C-alpha cells in the first residue's frame, strides 16, 4: 500500500545546504541556513546556557515524563519577558504550555483554532514557508495579503483590505518582530493602526514571536504584540527560544493562550494538552530546563541578555554596512536593509542572478533572494558586496 505515495521534491533549503557543503571554494559564503553566526562563522552555545546545563547535570534527579504541558516552570519564567509589565498573569487570562520549538507552538495554535471552528487564517505573503504548509496539512485555508512594498516597508493598506474582507470566525497570523523572510516589521504607528483594525473586525490574532531580542531589543520586539493583547479579548501566542537562547537542536518553544477569563484560558489549554498528547505526547525537556535555570538565576539572566545584545549588535553592523554600499550595487536598493530587523532580508534578485552569484562567486542564498544577514562577517561582506555588484549591474 505504501506504493500509493508519490515521490516528493527535496526541501529547497536542505538541497542548498548540500550544494554549499560540496563546494570546494575556501571563500564560499552561506547566506541560506537560518541560524545565527558569529563573526568567525560559528553558531555557538550561549555561555549562560552552558552554565545552566552544568547546573542541570549536577542537580537534575529524574528523567521521568513531565506531561503534555511540559516544564511549566520554564513556561512561567518566560512570561515576564514576553508579556512585560502589563501583568503576565492577567488575572489568569494568560497561561501556556511548552511545545517542541516554535513550530510545535504554531501547530498547536492552528489546530486549536480549527477545533474552535476557524478554517481561514489571514496571512501576509511572503511568510515563513512552514506557515502555509502546516495550514494545508490541517486542511485550513491561508488567505494571503501582500506584506511588503517595493521600498522595503510594510504594506499596511494590503493588511487593511484583507481584514475588511474577513469572514466571521477568521483568524490573522502576525509576525511579532523580525519578519521571516523579509525582515520588514511594522512600525509602532502601524501597530497602533493594526490594533484598531483587528479589534474592530473581531478576528482572532495568532502571533508568531520567534525572534524576540534579535530586532530592536526584548522590550521593543514585544511592544506590538502587547498592544494587540491589550485591545482584544482572545489571542494565541507562539514563542520560540531556539534563536534567542541558541537552542536550535533542543527544540524549545511555548504556546500561550489569552482567553476572555481564567476559566476560558484553562479550557483552551485542556484542548492543547489533548492535541499535544496525540502529536508528540511529551515535549523534550533538556533545552527548556536549561532556559528555565537561566531565567531563574539573576546572574545567568544578565549574562544571557548581554550575549543576546551582542548578537543583535553584530547583525545591525552587517545591515548598516550593506545599506552603506547601496551606491556600489547598481540595480538594487539596499538602503532599506538598515531599517529591517532580525536574521533575514530579501534582495530583489531574479533566479538567473541568484544562480550566477552562486556559480561565479560561491554565494549561496535561497531562490527567493532571502539572505541570512548573520551569515555575513567583517571578513566576507566586502566580497559579497562585490559579487552583488557583478550580478546586479
| Per-domain boundaries in the chain | 10-45+312-392, 65-296
Residue 100 phi/psi, 5-degree rounding, is -75, 90
**Beta carbons of 319 and 373 less than 8 angstroms apart:** yes
pLDDT confidence of residue 86: 64
- Dihedral angle of Cα 291, 292, 294, 298, to the nearest 10 degrees: 150
Residue 360, CA atoms < 13 Å, CB-side half-sphere = 15
Catalytic residue, candidates 71, 95, 155, 208: 208
Pairing, β 141-146 against β 120-125: parallel
- Please say if 185 is a catalytic residue: no
Mean pLDDT of successive 10-residue stretches along the chain, which has 393 residues: 90 86 94 92 95 95 92 96 74 94 97 97 96 96 96 94 94 97 96 96 97 97 96 97 96 96 96 96 95 98 98 97 84 90 95 95 94 96 94 83
Q: Which of 48, 201, 210, 374 is catalytic?
A: 210
How many other CB atoms are found less than 10 A from the CB of residue 79? 20
Which residues does 92 contact at the CB level (< 8 Å), separation at least 6? Answer: 261, 262, 265, 266
Residues 22-49: pLDDT tens digits? 999 999 999 998 899 999 989 999 999 9
Closest CA to 163 of 209, 129, 200: 200
Name residues whose C-beta falls within 8 Å of residue 61's C-beta, 6 or more positions apart in sequence: none
Cell numbers given for 84:
512585560
**Maximum pairwise Cα distance, the chain:** 62
In this structure, are residues 389 and 330 in contact, taking their beta carbons and an 8 Å threshold?
A: yes
Q: What kind of fold does domain 65-296 have according to CATH?
A: 3.40.640
Q: What is the pTM of this model?
A: 0.94
Local structure of residue 92 (DSSP, 8 states): G
Phi, psi angles (nearest 5°) of residue 274:
-65, -45
* DSSP labels, 238-303: EEE-TTTS--GGG-EEEEEEE-SSHHHHHHHHHHHHHHHHHHTSS---HHHHHHHHHHH-HHHHHH
Bridge partners of 98, per DSSP, are: 254
- 230 labelled catalytic: no
Establish whether the linkage from the previous residue to 54 is cis, with ω within 30° of 0.
Answer: no
Q: Report how far residue 188's alpha carbon sits from residue 157's, in angstroms, rounded to the nearest whole number.
A: 16
Q: Quick one: cell of 41?
A: 562563522
Of the residues 242, 243, 289, 387, which is catalytic?
A: 243
Q: Hey, what CATH topology would domain 10-45+312-392 get?
A: 3.90.1150
* Amino acid 87: pLDDT: 58
CA angle 192, 197, 198 (to 5 degrees): 100
- pLDDT at position 174: 98
- Within 10 angstroms of residue 362's Cβ, the number of other Cβ atoms is 19
Q: Is the peptide bond before 327 cis (omega within 30 degrees of 0)?
A: no
Residue 200 bears catalytic tag: no
Say if residues 247 and 290 touch (Cβ distance below 8 Å). yes
* CA separation for the pair 275, 281 (Å, rounded): 9
pLDDT at residue 90 in the model: 60
Across the chain, what does the average pLDDT equal?
94
Q: Which of 157, 138, 211 is nearest to 181 (CA)?
A: 211
Catalytic residue among 52, 109, 128, 290: 128
Q: Is 51 a catalytic residue?
A: no
Amino acid at each position: 500500500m505504501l506504493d500509493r505515495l508519490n515521490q516528493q521534491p527535496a526541501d529547497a533549503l536542505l538541497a542548498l545546504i548540500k550544494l554549499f557543503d560540496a563546494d570546494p571554494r575556501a571563500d564560499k559564503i552561506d547566506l541560506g541556513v537560518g541560524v545565527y553566526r558569529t563573526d568567525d562563522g560559528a553558531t555557538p552555545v550561549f555561555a549562560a546556557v552552558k552554565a545552566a546545563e552544568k547546573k542541570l547535570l549536577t542537580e537534575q534527579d529524574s528523567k521521568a515524563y513531565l506531561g503534555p504541558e511540559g516544564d511549566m516552570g520554564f513556561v512561567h519564567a518566560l512570561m515576564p519577558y514576553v508579556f512585560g509589565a502589563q501583568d503576565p498573569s492577567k488575572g489568569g487570562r494568560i497561561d501556556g504550555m511548552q511545545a517542541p520549538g516554535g513550530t510545535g507552538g504554531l501547530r498547536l495554535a492552528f489546530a486549536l483554532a480549527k477545533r474552535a471552528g476557524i478554517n481561514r487564517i489571514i496571512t501576509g505573503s511572503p511568510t515563513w514557508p512552514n506557515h502555509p504548509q502546516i495550514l494545508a496539512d490541517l486542511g485550513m485555508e491561508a488567505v494571503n495579503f501582500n506584506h511588503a512594498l517595493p521600498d522595503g516597508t510594510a504594506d499596511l493598506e494590503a493588511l487593511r483590505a484583507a481584514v475588511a474582507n474577513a469572514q466571521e470566525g477568521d483568524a490573522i497570523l502576525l509576525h511579532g518582530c523580525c519578519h521571516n523572510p523579509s525582515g520588514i516589521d511594522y512600525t509602532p504607528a502601524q501597530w497602533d493602526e493594526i490594533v484598531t483594525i483587528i479589534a474592530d473586525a473581531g478576528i482572532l490574532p495568532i502571533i508568531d514571536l520567534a525572534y524576540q531580542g534579535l530586532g530592536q531589543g526584548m522590550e521593543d520586539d514585544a511592544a506590538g504584540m502587547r498592544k494587540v493583547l491589550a485591545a482584544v479579548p482572545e489571542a494565541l501566542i507562539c514563542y520560540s527560544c531556539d534563536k534567542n537562547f541558541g537552542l536550535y537542536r533542543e527544540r524549545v518553544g511555548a504556546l500561550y493562550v489569552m482567553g476572555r477569563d481564567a476559566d476560558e484560558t484553562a479550557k483552551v489549554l485542556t484542548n492543547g494538552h489533548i492535541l499535544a498528547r496525540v502529536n508528540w505526547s511529551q515535549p523534550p525537556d533538556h533545552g527548556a530546563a536549561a532556559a528555565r535555570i537561566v531565567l531563574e538565576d539573576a546572574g545567568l539572566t544578565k549574562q544571557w541578555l548581554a550575549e543576546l545584545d551582542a548578537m543583535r549588535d553584530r547583525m545591525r553592523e552587517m545591515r548598516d554596512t550593506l545599506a552603506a554600499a547601496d551606491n556600489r550595487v547598481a540595480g538594487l536598493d539596499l538602503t532599506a536593509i538598515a531599517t529591517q530587523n532580525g536574521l533575514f532580508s530579501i534582495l530583489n534578485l531574479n533566479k538567473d542572478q541568484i544562480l550566477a552569484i552562486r556559480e561565479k562567486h560561491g554565494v549561496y542564498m535561497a531562490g527567493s533572494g532571502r539572505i541570512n544577514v548573520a551569515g555575513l562577517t567583517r571578513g566576507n561582506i566586502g566580497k559579497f558586496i562585490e559579487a552583488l555588484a557583478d550580478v546586479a549591474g
